[in-house]
Chains A and B, each alone.
Chain A
Amino acid sequence: MSKINLLQAVNSALETAMREDEKCVCFGEDVGHFGGVFRATSHLQEKFGKDRVFNTPLVEQGILGFANGMAANGFKAVAEIQFADYIFPAFDQIVNETAKFRYRSGNEFNVGGLTVRTPYGGGIHGGHYHSQSPEAYFAHTPGLKVVVPRNPHQAKGLLLASIREDNPVIFFEPKRLYRASVGEVPEEDYEIPLGVAEVVEEGTDITLLAWGAQMEIITEAAKLAQEEGISCEVVDLRTIVPWDVETIVNSVKKTGRLIISHEATLTNGFGAEVAATVQEQAFLHLESPILRVCGMDVPYPLSHEAEYIPDASKVFEAIKHSMNY
Chain B
Amino acid sequence: MSKTIHKPTFISGDALEIPIFKVLKQDGTLYPKAVEPEMSKEFALKIYRDLAFIRVFDERMVSAQRQGRISFYMPCLGEEAASIGSAAALEAKDMVFAQYREQGTLRYRGFSTEQFMDQCFSNERDLGKGRQMPIHYGSNELNYMTISSPLGTQIPQASGYAYSQKLEGNKACTICYFGEGAASEGDFHAGLNMAAVLKCPTIFFCRNNGYAISTPASEQYIGDGIASRGVGYGIKTIRIDGNDLLAVYEATRVAREYAIEHNAPVLIEAMSYRLGAHSTSDDPTGYRSKEEEAKWATKDPVLRYKHWLTKKGWWDDEQENALYAEYREEILAQMKEAEKRPVNKIDDIITDVFDEPSAILESQLADLKSHIRKYPSAYPKTSGRLDS
Contact A69 B159 (CB under 8 A): yes
Interface string of B150-185 (1 = CB under 8 A from A): 100101111111111101100000100000000000
Task: Give the shortest distance, in Å, between A108 (CB) and chain B (any CB).
Answer: 4
Q: Does A39 contact B (CB under 8 A)?
A: no
Contact B164 A70 (CB under 8 A): yes
Contact A104 B161 (CB under 8 A): no
Contact of B167 among A51, A106, A195 (CB under 8 A): A51
The complex places the Cα of A216 from the Cα of B377 at a distance, in Å, of 54
- Which residues of chain A are within 8 angstroms of B162 by Cβ–Cβ distance? 69
Task: Give the shortest distance, in Å, between A142 (CB) and chain B (any CB).
Answer: 5
Contact of B352 among A56, A72, A103, A145 (CB under 8 A): A103
Contacts A73-B164, A103-B352 given; indicate if A65 touches B140 (C-beta within 8 A). no
Contact A102 B161 (CB under 8 A): no
Contacts A61-B156, A66-B157 given; indicate if A242 touches B355 (C-beta within 8 A). no
Contact B153 A65 (CB under 8 A): yes
How many B residues, CB 8 Å from partner?
49
Contacting chain B: which of A91-99, A171-179, A182-190, A253-261? A91-99
Contact A68 B160 (CB under 8 A): yes
Interface string of A97-113 (1 = CB under 8 A from B): 10011111111111010
Contacts A92-B153, A100-B148, A106-B131 given; indicate if A66 touches B160 (C-beta within 8 A). yes
Q: Does A245 contact B (CB under 8 A)?
A: yes
Interface string of A45-69 (1 = CB under 8 A from B): 0000001101011010110111111
The complex places the Cα of A252 from the Cα of B167 at a distance, in Å, of 51
Contact of A106 among B128, B156, B159, B165 (CB under 8 A): B128
Task: Give the shortest distance, in Å, between B232 (CB) and chain A (any CB).
Answer: 14
- Which residues of chain A are within 8 angstroms of B127 by Cβ–Cβ distance? 105-106, 108
Q: Does A270 contact B (CB under 8 A)?
A: no
Q: Does B16 contact A (CB under 8 A)?
A: no
Contact B164 A75 (CB under 8 A): yes
Contact B353 A103 (CB under 8 A): yes
| Closest B residue, CB atoms, query A97 | B153
The complex places the Cα of A101 from the Cα of B190 at a distance, in Å, of 20
| Closest A residue, CB atoms, query B351 | A107
Contact B197 A70 (CB under 8 A): no
| Closest A residue, CB atoms, query B97 | A69
- Which residues of chain B are within 8 angstroms of A68 by Cβ–Cβ distance? 156-157, 160
Interface residues of A in 64-95 (CB under 8 A from B): 64-75, 77, 89, 92-93
- Which residues of chain A are within 8 angstroms of B353 by Cβ–Cβ distance? 102-103, 142-143
Contact B146 A108 (CB under 8 A): yes
Contacts A56-B194, A62-B156, A69-B160 given; indicate if A110 touches B355 (C-beta within 8 A). yes
Contact A106 B160 (CB under 8 A): no
- Which residues of chain A are within 8 angstroms of B361 by Cβ–Cβ distance? 242
- Which residues of chain A are within 8 angstroms of B167 by Cβ–Cβ distance? 23, 25, 51-52, 75
Contact B146 A59 (CB under 8 A): no
Contact B161 A70 (CB under 8 A): yes
Contact A242 B145 (CB under 8 A): no
Q: Does A131 contact B (CB under 8 A)?
A: no
- Which residues of chain B are within 8 angstroms of A145 by Cβ–Cβ distance? 354
Q: Bin chain A's interface residue count.
A: 35 or more
- Which residues of chain B are within 8 angstroms of A219 by Cβ–Cβ distance? none
Q: Does A167 contact B (CB under 8 A)?
A: yes
Interface string of A131-153 (1 = CB under 8 A from B): 00000000000110100000000
Contact B136 A104 (CB under 8 A): yes
Contacts A65-B153, A103-B353, A109-B140 given; indicate if A72 touches B145 (C-beta within 8 A). yes
| Closest B residue, CB atoms, query A75 | B164
Q: Does B193 contact A (CB under 8 A)?
A: yes
Interface residues of B in 221-240 (CB under 8 A from A): none
Q: Does B269 contact A (CB under 8 A)?
A: no
Contact B148 A62 (CB under 8 A): no
Interface centre among B126, B153, B165, B354 (most CB of A within 10 A): B354
Task: Give the shortest distance, in Å, between B269 (CB) and chain A (any CB).
Answer: 21
Q: Does B60 contact A (CB under 8 A)?
A: no
- Which residues of chain A are within 8 angstroms of B128 by Cβ–Cβ distance? 104-106, 108
Task: Give the shortest distance, in Å, between A240 (CB) and chain B (any CB).
Answer: 12
Interface residues of B in 190-221 (CB under 8 A from A): 190-191, 193-194, 197-198
The complex places the Cα of A199 from the Cα of B140 at a distance, in Å, of 43
Task: Give the shortest distance, in Å, between A71 (CB) and chain B (any CB).
Answer: 8
- Which residues of chain A are within 8 angstroms of B294 by Cβ–Cβ distance? none
Q: Does A15 contact B (CB under 8 A)?
A: no
Contact B146 A104 (CB under 8 A): yes
The complex places the Cα of A104 from the Cα of B189 at a distance, in Å, of 25
Contact of B358 among A23, A73, A242 (CB under 8 A): A242
- Which residues of chain A are within 8 angstroms of B165 by Cβ–Cβ distance? 73
| Closest A residue, CB atoms, query B150 | A96
Q: Does B5 contact A (CB under 8 A)?
A: no
Task: Give the shortest distance, in Å, between B186 (CB) and chain A (any CB).
Answer: 6
Task: Give the shortest distance, in Å, between A312 (CB) and chain B (any CB).
Answer: 31
Contact A62 B193 (CB under 8 A): yes
- Which residues of chain B are within 8 angstroms of A75 by Cβ–Cβ distance? 164, 167
Contact B355 A167 (CB under 8 A): yes
Q: Does A166 contact B (CB under 8 A)?
A: yes
- Which residues of chain A are within 8 angstroms of B95 by Cβ–Cβ distance? 73
Contact A69 B126 (CB under 8 A): no
Interface residues of B in 65-111 (CB under 8 A from A): 95, 97
Contact A59 B190 (CB under 8 A): yes
A–B Cβ pairs within 8 angstroms, 28 of them: A54-B198, A62-B189, A62-B194, A65-B191, A66-B156, A66-B163, A66-B191, A66-B194, A68-B156, A69-B159, A69-B174, A73-B161, A75-B167, A93-B187, A96-B153, A97-B148, A102-B355, A103-B352, A104-B131, A104-B148, A106-B126, A107-B352, A108-B127, A108-B128, A108-B138, A108-B140, A109-B138, A109-B145
Interface residues of B, Cβ cutoff 8 Å to A: 95, 97, 126-129, 131-132, 136, 138-140, 145-146, 148, 150, 153, 155-165, 167-168, 174, 186-187, 189-191, 193-194, 197-198, 351-355, 358-361
**9 cross-chain pairs, A with B, having the tightest CB-CB distances, nearest first:** A65-B156, A69-B160, A62-B190, A66-B160, A105-B146, A242-B358, A69-B157, A69-B161, A106-B129
* Additional A-B contact list (4), CB under 8 Å, known A52-B167, A109-B140: A62-B194, A67-B160, A102-B355, A105-B352
